[in-house]
């Protein structure tokens, strides 16, 4: 099964057992000084054990002054020992190890103590950053070379030079960023000079048999005077002559809305960048890696079988399920936990320095805890009832089952999935619904499930149960307004489930994620939509990349968005705001959030019978799916 994906490939002297790559995704699992931690070793070892062909260790800083805290570093000899432990762990688990050599330019600003190197003078907030000097250029090139020697000593099988995403090397290459007037700027040949000098230094200081990859953007999106795909192809042909073996074709930059292409959310189509990679591959004749929301084995197989790319990056696919490759190879596709591109734990978690020590995953709370969260068998097997079959309840049920408990799930509806199903009803969100149904099917294969069953106090009183999990979810908040009888009004879930189909002018009250997805549903069906948000911003509960994509969609659909717009009352003409403005509409849709469903009677019944119980997910507080799944995982781990 998936014979093309699991065919071996040899590049110079490196042989890979399959075509699946874990890319160099930032984790923030390194120590403050950049040292490799046991946490990072366990994270990579789990993916190598899971069958990945090549693990590329992430954004490894080559230059100490510009190395941000908690980013992996290979800028000094003291780091070699830690990297050797990491490569040993990957090798011992059947994989190959690469390392991505990186100088992050303005991305170093994540750490206020790190030096920021820029290709040209640049306005950066209240400051003007001065362009890197020629002396500093020579220093950085030497640092790349020294890092390559350390990587060889540490046992890496290949190197990757990060030449994308407006980090320093890409900034030199792109005329949209490089405004220098010396030999490193101006003409295409001059702009190529710095990255080619780095490539030459790397090639000189690594073994002849070791492959050199470059990660490069297919083009510069939304960047005036940026690199075209034709220029990228021209550069890649030259890079090939300088000893580059593999093109890892990415897309995006961190200074425009095109940043959404770096870690593309669910709003961006699967394999959106592969046609670019296929063209670059065809015109350069180089081994090429396809990148961009390739999250199923079937899609990966199709892309390689159709001769579009030679290998595929499957990063977040292996965050969601470290056993992805093994399950696919063995034909157990139905057991794979698929990434849905929510970005809640990977990108948003990476950027949330104040609240999260490192990345996580909405679908896999074990990330960063691979060593300590071993899911050991329970000391005493218990009969556990899980009341509620949303994602929190299903996660708890699965973990409890894996630890040997006897689990029964009770769901009031006819389908498992809860609000996760609702999230998948909006246009372009089919993967979310599919994941909810998939998780439901996986749960039913593991434990006993009773659907269309409402658990009451009497059932608990009579039940043969040792512990109870209350995961009863949430319901839409209802608001009573003056004039409610004068204007048709419905809830967002009714619209998303197509239970009602408003027409004409429709106002959506609430500008959070649910309100935006409701507006998308209505506008895509031909309605003239206005979003009314009482706060001063729309989409405040969205992560930054999803917000870019969703707002672009709203603009394309001509959705009108009004902030600081508190709804006062309804009239036959429409909605009256607090300032007296009338918003004409024939229907109002409430999307003002959700409140926890009441579970206090069930809790009291448990207390009366002296049964330990746990309230989790939206039943505890209506939040994001990442919180619900994490709570389900944690309670399942502790019982």
| Residue 616 pLDDT | 98
pLDDT at residue 185 greater than cutoff 90: yes
Return the SS3 of 258. Answer: helix
pLDDT tens per residue, range 541-565: 999 999 999 999 999 999 999 999 9
Tell me whether residue 373 is one of the annotated catalytic residues: no
pLDDT at residue 149 greater than cutoff 90: yes
- Give a three-class secondary structure readout of 61-121: ECCHHHCCCCCCECCCHHHHHHHHHHHHHHHHCCCEEEEEEECCHHHHHHCCCCCCCECCC
Catalytic residue among 43, 144, 156, 167: 167
Give the residue-averaged pLDDT of 299-309: 98
pLDDT at residue 200 greater than cutoff 90: yes
Distance CA 61, CA 135 (A): 19
| Percentage of the residues of the chain whose pLDDT score is greater than 70 | 100
Give the residue-averaged pLDDT of 310-334: 98
| Residue 333 pLDDT | 97
pLDDT tens per residue, range 17-54: 999 999 999 999 999 999 999 999 999 999 999 999 99
Please list, in sequence order, all residues whose beta carbon lies within 8 angstroms of the beta carbon of residue 461, skipping any fewer than 6 positions away.
Answer: 605, 608, 609
Distance CA 256, CA 252 (A): 8
| Residue 478 pLDDT | 87
Residue in the block written with tokens 């794979």: 336
| Residue 57 pLDDT | 98
- Do the domains 9-351 and 484-592 sit in the same CATH topology, yes or no? no
Q: Which H or E run contains 491?
A: strand 488-491
Query: Cβ(288)–Cβ(275) under 8 Å?
Result: no
CATH superfamily of 383-476+595-638: NAD(P)-binding Rossmann-like Domain (3.40.50.720)
Give the residue-averaged pLDDT of 613-629: 95
- Is the pTM higher than 0.85? The answer reads yes
CATH code of the domain occupying 484-592: 3.50.50.60
Please list, in sequence order, all residues whose beta carbon lies within 8 angstroms of the beta carbon of residue 496, skipping any fewer than 6 positions away.
Answer: 422, 425, 426, 514, 517, 518, 521
| Residue 374 pLDDT | 85
pLDDT band at 126 (very low <50, low <70, confident <90, very high): confident
- Tell me which residue of 408, 394, 342, 403 sits closest to 374, measured CA to CA: 403
pLDDT tens per residue, range 355-384: 999 999 999 999 999 998 988 999 999 999
Domain ranges of the chain: 9-351, 383-476+595-638, 484-592
pLDDT band at 125 (very low <50, low <70, confident <90, very high): confident
CATH code of the domain occupying 9-351: 3.20.20.70
Give the residue-averaged pLDDT of 323-334: 98
The strand pair at 594-596 and 474-476 is best described as antiparallel
| Percentage of the residues of the chain whose pLDDT score is greater than 90 | 97
Give the residue-averaged pLDDT of 494-505: 96
Give the DSSP per-residue string, 331-345: T-GGG--------TT
- Tell me which residue of 255, 278, 279, 259 sits closest to 268, measured CA to CA: 259
pLDDT band at 1 (very low <50, low <70, confident <90, very high): confident
| Residue 127 pLDDT | 85
pLDDT at residue 613 greater than cutoff 90: yes
pLDDT tens per residue, range 63-101: 999 999 999 999 999 999 999 999 999 999 999 999 999
pLDDT at residue 124 greater than cutoff 90: no
């Amino acid at each position: 099964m998936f014979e093309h994906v699991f065919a071996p490939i040899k590049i110079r002297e490196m042989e890979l057992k399959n075509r699946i790559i874990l890319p160099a995704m930032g984790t923030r699992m390194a120590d403050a000084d950049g040292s490799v931690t046991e946490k990072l070793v366990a994270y990579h070892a789990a993916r190598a054990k899971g069958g990945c062909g090549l693990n590329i260790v992430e954004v490894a800083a080559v230059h100490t002054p510009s190395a941000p805290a908690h980013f992996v570093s290979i800028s000094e000899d003291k780091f070699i020992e830690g990297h050797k432990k990491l490569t040993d762990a990957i090798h011992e688990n059947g994989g190959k190890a690469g390392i991505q050599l990186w100088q992050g330019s303005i991305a170093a600003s994540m750490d206020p103590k790190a030096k920021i190197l820029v290709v040209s003078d640049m306005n950066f907030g209240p400051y003007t950053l001065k362009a890197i000097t020629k002396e500093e250029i020579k220093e950085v090139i030497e640092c790349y070379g020294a890092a390559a020697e350390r990587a060889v000593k540490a046992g890496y099988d290949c190197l990757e030079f990060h030449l994308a995403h407006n980090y320093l090397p890409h900034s030199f290459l792109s005329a949209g960023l490089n405004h220098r007037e010396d030999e490193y700027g101006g003409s295409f040949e001059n702009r190529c000079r710095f990255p080619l000098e780095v490539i030459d230094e790397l090639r000189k200081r690594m073994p002849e048999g070791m492959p050199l990859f470059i990660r490069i953007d297919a083009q510069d999106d939304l960047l005036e005077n940026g690199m075209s795909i034709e220029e990228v192809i021209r550069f890649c042909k030259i890079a090939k002559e300088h000893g580059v073996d593999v093109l890892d074709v990415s897309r995006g930059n961190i200074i425009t809305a095109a940043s959404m292409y770096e870690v593309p959310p669910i709003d961006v189509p699967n394999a959106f960048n592969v046609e670019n990679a296929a063209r670059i591959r065809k015109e350069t004749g180089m081994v090429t890696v396809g990148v961009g929301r390739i999250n199923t084995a079937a899609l990966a197989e199709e892309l390689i079988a159709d001769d579009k790319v030679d290998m595929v990056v499957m990063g977040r696919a292996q965050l969601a399920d470290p056993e992805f490759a093994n399950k696919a190879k063995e034909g157990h596709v139905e057991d794979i936990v698929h990434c849905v591109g929510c970005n809640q734990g990977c990108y948003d978690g990476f950027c949330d320095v104040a609240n999260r020590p490192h990345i996580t995953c909405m679908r896999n709370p074990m990330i960063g805890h691979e060593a300590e969260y071993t899911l050991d068998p329970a000391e005493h097997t218990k009969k556990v009832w899980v009341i509620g079959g949303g994602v929190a309840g299903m996660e708890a049920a699965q973990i409890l089952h894996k630890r040997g408990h006897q689990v029964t799930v009770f769901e009031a509806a006819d389908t498992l999935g809860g609000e996760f199903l609702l999230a998948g009803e909006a246009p372009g969100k089919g993967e979310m619904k599919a994941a909810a149904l998939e998780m439901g099917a996986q749960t039913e294969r593991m434990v006993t499930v009773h659907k269309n069953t409402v658990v009451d106090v009497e059932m608990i009183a009579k039940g043969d149960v040792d512990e109870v999990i209350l995961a009863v979810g949430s319901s839409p908040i209802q608001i009573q307004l003056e004039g409610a009888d004068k204007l048709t009004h419905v809830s967002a879930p009714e619209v998303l489930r197509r239970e009602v189909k408003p027409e004409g002018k429709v106002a959506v009250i609430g500008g959070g994620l649910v309100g935006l997805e409701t507006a998308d549903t209505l506008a895509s069906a031909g309605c003239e939509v206005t979003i009314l948000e009482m706060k001063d911003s729309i989409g405040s509960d969205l992560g930054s990349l999803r917000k870019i994509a969703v707002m672009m969609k709203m603009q394309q659909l001509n959705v009108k968005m009004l902030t600081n717009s508190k709804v006062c009352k309804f009239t036959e003409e429409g909605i009256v705001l607090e300032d007296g403005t009338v918003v004409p509409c024939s229907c109002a849709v409430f999307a003002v959030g959700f409140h926890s469903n009441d579970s206090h009677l069930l809790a009291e019944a448990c207390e009366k019978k002296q049964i330990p119980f746990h309230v989790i997910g939206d039943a505890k507080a209506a939040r994001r799916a990442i919180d619900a799944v994490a709570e389900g995982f944690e309670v399942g781990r502790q019982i």
